[in-house]
Every structure is written in C-alpha cells, then in structure tokens.
Amino acid sequence: KAGVTQTPRYLIKTRGQQVTLSCSPISGHRSVSWYQQTPGQGLQFLFEYFSETQRNKGNFPGRFSGRQFSNSRSEMNVSTLELGDSALYLCASSLASGAGSTEAFFGQGTRLTVV
C-alpha cells in the first residue's frame, strides 16, 4: 500500500512568487491536513480538507490556501512568497475527519526555500 506522496520534494522560489505543493493521500483516505514546520515555530497546523471541503484552518494569513479534489488529492498554494515562508511543508492523510479518525500518516514533506 503506497504511503502519502508529496511533490515536489524540494523547491526554491523567489520572494513575491507563488507556489503550489501537491499531496496524494493513502488510497481510501479522505482527509488531508497540511502542516508547516520551521526551526523557530515548530510544527503548525495549516488546514484540513475532507471530501473537498476545508474543515478547519490554523492561524495563517490568507496567502495560504488549499483545495482538495474528488480523488482526495490535495494542493496547497502560497501566494506572494515571503522569506519567512521557507519551511518544510508536511501533508498528513487520515481515514476520516473528526470522530473515528485517530491516526495521521505523514508524507516526507516539501522543503520550500524562498530567496
């Protein structure tokens, strides 16, 4: 059974550009969550999608957005990139959201560097 796949693994962008990251969850999983990991702030919850609907969002500016497709694959977009957006972005998939979902499986992450 394939795990969570994130593409690309590494990305270098310039300030002001936008970027799109992709996440393919484990087959059968309908929930996809995104996290940002930085040395200073640690792991922070960005948002969760379930059945193509955003269920919750963490404390991040509107430049961070996402979507989920009917096949449960998810994309995350960051517009007008800032140096502080440099981070490891992790995607996690779960069978379901809320009650009944107790284990998140993480991908290897996308390392975004903004220069």
Pick 22 or 101: Cβ nearer other proteins: 101
Pick 17 or 56: Cβ nearer other proteins: 56
> CA-CA distance, 53 to 50, in Å (whole number)?
5
Q: CA torsion sign, 65 to 55 to 75 to 23?
A: positive
> CA-CA distance, 85 to 108, in Å (whole number)?
18
Q: Which of residues 36-55 bind other proteins (CB under 8 A)?
A: 42-45, 47-48, 50, 55
Site membership for other proteins, residue 4 (CB under 8 A) = yes
**Distance in Å, CB of 16 to other proteins, minimum:** 27
